[in-house]
Amino acid sequence: MPLQLFLTAAPVAFAVVAGGFSLFQWLMSQRARSDERDDELLAWGAKVMDAMAELETLCANPAGLWPGVEFDRRRLALAAALSSLVDQGRMFFPNVQSTGQQRGDKPEAYRGSRVVILDQVIVGYDVAHLIPQAGPERKALLQQPLRDARREFVSLLQKEVGSSRRSSAAVRQTRPAIKIRLEDLR
């Protein structure tokens, strides 16, 4: 009788163990997919932040620091890069469709409303095109909206990336801000 009970229960036990193992494998594959998306998102975000930081440097310094037409070449290259990064970002953050926005004259990826994280990249693109119009004396004024957009972009990207990519409690401890001033360097 115990052998009969074992032979009857063994397939059920095996099915439960196999089911548990399958569930574990599925959960691990979901986690791997999420990690892969986070990797791709972080790589894209790093390109956006690099372009916006370089554009901010162009706004902060006189065009004469760059030889010949190098300033405009760099500015236009950054505008092109930011335009491409907006489209790359649409792979992660497609436009939001809503009733009444279904304009058939636009390609499908461009219908609806652009999400806020991509709007921050558009600010960089716009600034790159506004620099020549601002002229040397007003060019530095473009830094603030660009800086604000970059900060908002980083904040939104942090929210999007999985919690496993965030800092530990030890890193999140706060202290008074460090500010280096020329007066303190004497």
Q: Is residue 9 part of a domain?
A: no
**Centroid of chain to Cα 52:** 12
Query: Residue 21 above 60 pLDDT?
Result: no
Does a structural domain hold residue 73?
A: yes
For the chain, the domain total comes to 1
pLDDT, tens only, 55-87: 999 998 888 888 889 999 999 999 999 999 999
Per the prediction, the chain carries an average pLDDT of: 82
Does the residue 69 lie in any domain? yes
CA angle 88, 148, 64 (to 5 degrees): 85
Residue 35 inside a domain? The answer is no
- Establish if 46 belongs to a structural domain: yes
Q: What is the three-class DSSP state of 153?
A: helix
Q: Between the ranges 90-94, 139-143, 162-166, 173-177, where is the mean pLDDT highest? A: 90-94
Q: Which of 64, 52, 44 is nearest to 142 (CA)?
A: 52
- More confident call, 171 vs 51: 51
Q: Which domain holds residue 114?
A: 40-185
Count of CB atoms situated within 10 Å of the CB of 94: 16
The number of CA neighbours under 13 Å toward the Cβ of 2 is 0
